[in-house]
Amino acid sequence: MHKDFEKFLRTVVYDKKLKNIQKSLDNLKTEKMLTTNLQFLLGINAVNHRKLESAKQFFQNSYDIALLRGDKDRAIFWLYLLSKNTIYLEELAKSFEANIYSLYAKELLNITPDNLVFKIDMQIKPSSYDIYDAFSWLEVTEDSKKSLDDAKMEKYSNLFTKKSMEPHLAFILERYNRFRNQYFITPYEDLLENYGIYKKVLIYSIAKQESRFIPSSISFSSAMGIMQIMPFLSKDIASKLGDDYNIYDQFLPEKNIQYASFHLDSLIKQFDSNPLFIAYAYNGGAGYARSQLQKGLFKDKSEFEPFLSMEMISYNETREYGKKVLANFYIYNNYLNSENKISLSSIFQNLVWHH
């Protein structure tokens, strides 16, 4: 029932023609049986209609029942936006998850994140593990979901012992540490050495979100490789590059990154090098991203922007994907481009769509 109701709510909240129904949703603020996501969505709807006290109640409800750290951070951030009470910022800054909300809170409070890991000390020795075998990786992901104890961790430390297996070890370590440490590794540096710093940061930001840098990754929708390129797109890119097409080449990091870079060149031009808008297009398609931006999002400089526009992207996966890539972009830029660090405040100020 909740899924059907959530689908109904999302249809209503994102449709400007349904303002009367939107306003009536304020009556649900005392309904405690709704999920954390529904409570949050109703809070955003209340903000859209300037019912800020109701919005606070919805966001508090969302926070109270949220199980995931990211959902709690999202709700508490909006409580801060509405109240400007730094108690919320201080609570948010305690979060172990590196998302745009906790990172921004730490920036505003001059706190340096202390759980970001960029390098892993590995045992470099031969290994029998095949990084191109999708089934082997599936077995690892299933095996490490539960009961990841010291013995199992040692097993994987002795299995992933080549530099090319750093992404695999980072994945296991993050699970082993229960995500208290967040890994922002930089594999395949030799494949990216000829790219400019912006392109390099963008590729790392997207690849971390798409596949955690695992070459054998395949999604339910058949996206492949480090950059999770769909077969129809890789075939089209091969044609444009004059390559003989072999779908299995997309498991090769050098080929997958080359094709993703070609695709990103087009998106960079279309979306003015804006990492958030490029992320929307990479995930949902350029046409979808433009259709969302043309709804009037990211135009105003009101008190809740750009955060309100970020919540008005209609497709849930694309909406959350954009936020995660943006956080990755901030972290990778300030690590790889340390002489030209950027603040999240400046990134947010530049989230404006001029077209």
- For 225-238, what is the mean pLDDT? 98
pLDDT score of 1 more than 60: no
Per-residue pLDDT band at 4 (split at 50, 70, 90): confident
Predicted pLDDT of residue 198: 98
Q: What is the mean pLDDT of the chain?
A: 94
The whole-model pTM stands at 0.95
pLDDT in tens, 44-58: 999 999 999 999 999
Predicted pLDDT of residue 146: 85
pLDDT in tens, 83-117: 999 999 999 999 999 999 999 999 999 999 999 99
pLDDT score of 35 more than 60: yes
Q: Report which residue type is found at 345.
A: S
- The encoded tokens of residue 219 equal 């999604």
Predicted pLDDT of residue 19: 77
pLDDT score of 135 more than 70: yes
What is the fold, at CATH topology level, of the domain defined by 189-350?
A: Lysozyme (1.10.530)
* CA-wise closest residue to 229 among 186, 269, 263: 263
- Domain map of the chain by residue range? 1-113, 117-183, 189-350
Predicted pLDDT of residue 13: 83
CA–CA separation, 59 and 316 (whole Å): 18
Q: 193-202: long-range contacts (C-beta < 8 A, 24 or more apart)?
A: 195/261, 197/333, 197/336, 197/337, 197/340, 198/273, 199/261, 199/264, 199/268, 200/336, 201/329, 201/332, 201/333, 201/336, 201/337, 202/264, 202/268, 202/275, 202/278, 202/329
Per-residue pLDDT band at 301 (split at 50, 70, 90): confident
Predicted pLDDT of residue 27: 66
What is the fold, at CATH topology level, of the domain defined by 1-113?
A: 1.25.40
Give the other-Cβ count within 10 Å of 136's Cβ. 13
pLDDT in tens, 174-222: 999 999 999 999 999 999 999 999 999 999 999 999 999 999 999 999 9
Predicted pLDDT of residue 170: 98
